[in-house]
Amino acid sequence: MFFVICENISKIFKNLLAPLCLWSLMLVLFPSAINAYKFLGVLHFGSKSHYIVGSSLMKALAEKGHEVTVITPFTEKKSIKNYHEIHLKNVMKIMDEKTDTLLETNRKALLSNIVNYHQMGLMITDTVLNEPGVQSLINSNQTFDAVICEVFLGEALYGLSEHFKAPLIGLGTFGAISWNTDMVGSPSPPSYVPYPMLPLSDHMSFWERLGNLAAITFERLFLDFYYLPKQSELYRKHFPSLERSLLDIRRNAALVLLNTHYSLTFTRPYVPNQIEVGGMHIKNSSPAYPKDLADFITNSSDGVIYFSMGSNIKSKRIPLHKREEILNAFRQLKQKVLWKFEDPHLPNKPDNVLIRDWFPQDFILAQRNVKAFVTHGGLLSIQEAVYYGKPIVALPIFGDQFLNAATSEREGFGILLDYKNLTATQLKNAIERVINEKQYKEKANIMSIRFKDRPQPPMEKALFWVEFIAKHKGAKFLHCTGMNLSFIEYHNLDAIFVLYIICPLLICLQLWSIYKLIVFCLSYCGGGKKLKNVEKEKLKKR
């Protein structure tokens, strides 16, 4: 009997041991697969630089074993495990029409540009939600643990998070601006937080504060009374069965990731679910690149200048007279020049200039022989220049480029030039200054050290917070209560009215009443004495 019991116990252990060993092996080999989540990425805007930021995060999530679906107008060249794309075919048609005229925005008024950007956003949003692939996704039975949506002119797309009952994570490719600070309740005092399309800092004169307040007020009125109601109409059109309003979804975002870092901006208030991850797209090691490009850089005895106007602005669209000024400046330099130029034919091209429609910017800026970077001042370009310690010459055209360029000049690692009035002499002198005057390179190196000096790499930080939101089902405990208050309650206007107007009036009324009572008592007492004296006088006369 004893041996039978032992044999049965042995069989039980054998049956339990095999799956236990298999489970342990899975924990060791595939730790991320045990807690894998499903994420939907909405990278709808047809800007390559914006896509680089968002796709770097989504690909990193896929590499960790999470199931990732991305809505985007771009496609990856290679297949990625756990990474699925819903391609937006029609967005780039709108973008191509708009980006061809971006150079003209430099000549337009700020308010006109604000209106035009938002009108473009409405067109893109409606186009995205009408895409067959997006409609198929909406009508599917898929589920997601979080929806990561770029916060850039596409608010109606937040309806995807409500449709799939998943927390909304905003990705601010611009950094902290009203579009994303409104989602988490982060205050932006206009007295020292500059409007992103103005070349200001956190130290403003009276007139700068006045202009800053005017721009912020105009955008606020435009958003609240025109743009957001239009986005709400698109939301109702494409998500008719959802009960929550778009504004309610917007002000209840679980998290906002910001593509910025305080070393490149200024000190400002943040809430706990507003996380800076600027530079997360930058990789420490670059893959192999064409040998002829590496040889061109290495064999340039006086160094190399890199010139790129980013992914949205096409250098081939630069007017001929302006292009000649740039070529004349490059012709006078002893350095060689790499110019991202989208046309294989460039008339009057100097011998020291190499043009291509695309350059691996991270690889180029990482080379020691690259002496300076002539840029439009886009946020990614500024971050990469700082990361690799390169001084810059900035030619801002639109958007936050003016603010970024002003920051580079204020911090001492760049020179800001006016594109509208640019001359060959100005460009040549600026390039020679940032190369020959040591303080520019020294300051660029200092900024590089600051930018890299973090307790946690930005991509690791972003991954942690995205997984944190999924793990805690939206982490509602991070929600700022201020988002639930009305305008009057948030600014304490009712309390201020009572405390500083009603209370003083009541106190004054009480004091006035006391004063009147005292006067009455004194007059009454004084009147009584006079009456007694009169009666005494009458008695004496009798």
Tens of pLDDT, residues 499-523:
999 999 999 999 999 998 998 888 8
The closest of 320, 398, 305 to 353, measured between CA atoms, is 305
Q: Are 86 and 137 in contact (CB under 8 A)?
A: yes
Q: Are residues 120 and 90 in the same domain?
A: yes
Q: How far apart are CA 372 and CA 513, in angstroms?
A: 77
The token pair at 391 is 């001084």
Residue 31 domain-assigned?
Answer: no
Domain co-membership, 125 together with 218: yes
Q: Are residues 141 and 233 in the same domain?
A: yes
Q: How far is CA 479 from CA 186, 188, 253, in A?
A: 11, 17, 8
Q: Which pTM does this prediction carry?
A: 0.89
pLDDT in tens for each of the 542 residues of the chain? 544 555 555 555 455 555 555 545 544 554 544 579 999 999 999 999 999 999 999 999 999 999 999 999 999 989 999 999 999 999 998 988 876 666 776 667 778 888 999 999 999 999 999 999 999 999 999 999 999 999 999 999 999 999 999 999 999 998 899 999 999 999 999 999 999 999 999 999 999 999 999 999 999 999 999 999 999 999 999 999 999 999 999 999 999 999 999 999 989 999 999 999 999 999 876 666 778 898 999 999 999 999 999 988 999 999 999 999 999 999 999 999 999 999 999 999 999 999 999 999 999 999 999 999 999 999 999 999 999 999 999 999 988 999 999 999 999 999 999 999 999 999 999 999 999 999 999 999 999 999 999 999 999 999 999 999 999 999 999 999 999 999 999 999 999 999 999 999 999 999 999 998 998 888 877 655 555 565 666 666 65
Q: Which of 184, 175, 341 is nearest to 260 (CA)?
A: 175
* Claim to verify: residue 90 and residue 195 sit in the same structural domain: yes
> Would you say residue 86 lies in a domain?
yes
User: Of 424, 443, 474, which residue is a domain's last?
Assistant: 474
Q: Among residues 474, 508, 530, which one ends one of the domains? A: 474
400 is in which domain, residue-wise?
291-452
Please state the φ and ψ torsions of residue 203, each to the nearest 5 degrees: -110, 100
Specify if 28 maps to a domain: no
**Encoded amino acid at 220, one letter:** R
Residue 495 located in a structural domain? no
Q: What angle do CA 277, 279, 284 make, to 5 degrees?
A: 125
Domain count, the chain: 2
User: Which among 182, 64, 42, 19 is positioned nearest to 467, based on CA atoms?
Assistant: 64
Task: Please report whether residue 167 resides in a domain.
Answer: yes
pLDDT tens for 83-113 read: 999 999 999 989 888 766 667 766 677 788 8
Task: Give the pLDDT confidence score for residue 539 in this predicted structure.
Answer: 60
- 540 domain residue, yes or no: no
6 domain-assigned: no
- pLDDT for 407 equals 95
pLDDT digits (tens, 9 = 90+) for 403-424: 999 999 999 999 999 999 999 9
Contacts of 19 (CB under 8 A, 6+ apart): none
Residues 6+ apart with CB under 8 A from 524: none
Q: Residue 462's closest CA among 378, 454, 29? A: 454
- Kindly state whether residues 267 and 299 are assigned to the same domain: no
Residue 526: what pLDDT? 64
Q: Is residue 30 part of a domain?
A: no
What CATH number does residue 368 fall under?
3.40.50.2000
Domain identity same for 278 and 386: no
Do 95 and 193 fall into the same domain?
yes
Q: Which helix (H) or strand (E) holds 72?
A: strand 67-72
Instruction: Count Cβ atoms below 10 Å from residue 213 Cβ, excluding itself.
Output: 14
Same domain for 270 and 381, yes or no, is: no
246 and 275 both lie in a single domain:
yes
Examine the fold and report which residue of 390, 417, 452 is the final residue of a domain before the chain moves on.
452
Same domain? 232 vs 353: no
d(C-alpha 320, C-alpha 127), whole Å: 34
Same structural domain, 139 and 277: yes
Is there a single domain that holds both residue 200 and residue 225?
A: yes
Token code pair at residue 200: 């200001």
